[in-house]
Amino acid sequence: MKKCIYWFIWLAMLSPFAVIAAEQSIPETTEVNSWHLGVSLGYGEMISPLTDGDDIALYVMPDIRYFGEYFYLENTTLGYSLKETPNYSIDLVGLLNQDGLYFPNDQRDLIAAASPPLQITIAPFPIEEEEVEQPDIAIYPKKKSLSYMAGVAWRYRGEMDINVVLASDITAGHHGKELHANIKKQFNIGRLEFESKVGMSYKDAALVNYYYGVSEDELPFGFEYLDYRPGAAINWHVQLQLGYPISDHFWLVSSYRYDNNDSEIANSPIVAKDDFQSYFFGFKWVL
């Protein structure tokens, strides 16, 4: 079970953090019923923004893609084409929400137990005229379920690619919604390939509250008034990927992504940083 969870997480990394060699190795007009397989070996991290959160190390990143006449698979993303033209497509999609990857599960709890918890120092009641040492209150991120989303995607292909996805939770039970939009540009200098991307993510109140809210029953007695119920949030991100082909099947690759958190997320007592950062560098083999 543990190995299955880790493979699922590795595959999930490829959704927002795909290495440029994967796309460079797939022609713009793909053959129907074709598989595209690859694997990246190197080192990277998804740096957790949570208080006392464990960063996720990246050593092996598989890349599994299938393109049928209507159905396609891109790692953990599933799609079914409703309409396709040379310039744009409209698809039904299923994709993994990224917020849940940072929260504890049964395996990561063992690591967190050996780490010192973040202490938040606050006074439960107003005290006048004398200073006293304030108690330490530890607020831990609780276990959260991974959320698989289903919705519709619109993609435009041109000098710059535009991707818009609207999806709703179908597995975790919070029924939250996300709207993703990004613009992507690929270019090269000699044999060095670049891909730049800028985008935003709108997360509704149900989704943000499920992952980043703190309810009264999570707080010590006397501190119930510190419960946190965030509203909807808009995050933005930038990403740069580089790839250098050594051969038709072997690439040097690197990638960096920065996500800025909306204040509704950054102000949560279980969030220590106002951003997400991810990076990877290494080699990629493409079949």
Measured between alpha carbons, how far is 278 from 264 in angstroms, rounded to an integer? 21
Per-residue CA distances from 120 to 139, 212, 280 (Å): 7, 16, 32
CATH code: domain of residue 213: 2.40.160.40
- H or E stretch including 22? helix 20-24
Alpha helices by DSSP H, 87-204: 106-113
Residue 268: per-residue pLDDT = 93
Q: What is the pLDDT along the chain (287 residues), one digit of tens a residue?
A: 444 444 455 555 444 454 444 554 444 556 778 898 989 999 999 999 998 888 888 898 888 999 999 999 998 899 999 999 999 999 999 999 989 888 876 543 333 222 222 222 223 333 344 444 444 565 778 888 889 999 999 999 999 999 999 999 999 999 999 999 999 999 999 999 999 999 999 999 999 999 999 988 877 777 777 789 999 999 999 999 999 999 989 999 999 999 999 999 999 989 999 999 999 999 999 88
Range of the domain at 246: 2-286
pLDDT at 255: 93
Would you state the structure tokens that stand for residue 180, as one six-digit string? 């993703």
Cα separation, 233 vs 202, whole angstroms: 6
What does the pLDDT read at residue 11? Answer: 52
Number of domains making up the chain? 1
Angle, vertex CA 76, rays to CA 245 and CA 181, nearest 5: 80
* Residue-level pLDDT at 222: 75
By CB neighbour count within 10 A (0-12 exposed, 13-18 middle, 19+ buried), where does 71 fall? middle
- Give the single-character DSSP code of 30: P
Element (H, E) at 2: helix 2-13
**Separation of alpha carbons 44 and 56, rounded Å:** 8
pTM over 0.95: no
Beta-bridge mates of residue 77: 74
Q: Find out whether 202 and 234 touch, Cβ atoms under 8 Å.
A: yes
Write 108-114 long-range contacts (CB < 8 A, 24+): 108/54, 109/143, 111/54, 112/52, 112/54, 112/140
Tally the C-alpha atoms within 13 A of residue 238's C-alpha that lie toward its C-beta: 1
